[in-house]
Amino acid sequence: MRIGSILIECAAILGMALLLATAVHKFRSDKEQRIAFIGKYQNVYDSDPYGIRKASEPPALPVKPSSQSVSAGVVDSVPKEAVKNGVQAAPEQKTGGPSPKRKLLPGVREIPAEEAIAEYQNGTPFLDARRTRQYHEGHIPRARPMSVWEADVDQRVSAMLEEIALEERLVIYCASGDCADSHMLAEKLAVAGYKDLRIFLGGFPEWVKRGLEVEKGEGEGGAAAGGAVEEGK
């Protein structure tokens, strides 16, 4: 019986303490320090329900459109709508124009059609760097076929070393001024030891355009180039 009365007295004391604490908390002047009662808590899945995160973050600065984000040198290539909306668009890549000048090895020089014709008239050997098929369809008379893309090019170079001295001048041509075959052949011959190489920039198309003589078939690939050539014939 003694234990039962003690438990009843403890329960009564705890109840009175709870009621007293609730009354004091209810009438506190500082509302921010109050604890929400059961049933008044916000959803735990709400993001930042009490504004704690917002209060700790600095306010976001407003973003204003500005055309100054576009460099002055590329304004013309950026769409006007992009500049108006403050969006920096990548400038369009311009194509065309002359290609970068090739770096030539010592002893190699590029020449125009007039100089190539003069060299031919003086008996300078000519080398055709195009494919053999193209050579058979038409080439500068007495030019040697010397395609850099065919397997026997090294054998042809070795044979020429026995016939033409390293100090002698050679003129090389291919399909046009943009054709890289003549430059590749010039580099191969320069490595082989030839010291005076000229690249005819206009190539075979320029030769035909000027109405100069053209030879078809196998030609005289082994013979020395030369002979008189007159334009228009």
Averaged confidence pLDDT in the chain: 74
Backbone angles phi, psi at 144, to 5 degrees: -85, 135
Helix (H) / strand (E) containing 24: helix 2-26
Q: Give Cα 174 to chain centroid, integer Å.
A: 28
Which is more confident, 221 or 130? 130
Of 129, 219, 143, 114, residue with least CA distance to 174: 129
pLDDT band at 111 (very low <50, low <70, confident <90, very high): very high
What percent of the chain clears pLDDT 70, i.e. is strictly above it?
59
What integer pLDDT is reported at residue 12 of this predicted model? 83
The structural domains of the chain, ordered by start, are: 108-209 (3.40.250.10)
Q: What pLDDT does residue 138 have?
A: 96
Q: Which two tokens stand for residue 105?
A: 């090895």
40/147: higher pLDDT: 147
Helices (H) then strands (E): counts for the chain: 8, 5
Whether residue 44 is predicted with pLDDT greater than 80 in this model: the reply is no
The mean pLDDT value for 161-186 works out to 92
> Over 70: is that where the pLDDT of 194 sits?
yes
Phi and psi, residue 158, nearest 5° = -60, -40
- CA angle (83, 60, 50) in 5-degree steps: 150
Q: How many angstroms from the chain centroid is the CA of residue 121?
A: 44
Distance, CA of 172 to CA of 51 (rounded, Å): 81
* Average pLDDT rounded to a whole number, residues 81-100: 40
Least confident of 94-98, 138-142, 227-231: 94-98
pLDDT at residue 201, rounded to an integer: 93
On whether the CB atoms of residues 89 and 74 are closer than 8 A, the answer is no
Task: Supply the DSSP string of 60-89, one letter for each residue.
Answer: PPPP---GGGS-GGGGGGS-HHHHHTT--P
The whole model's pTM is what?
A: 0.53
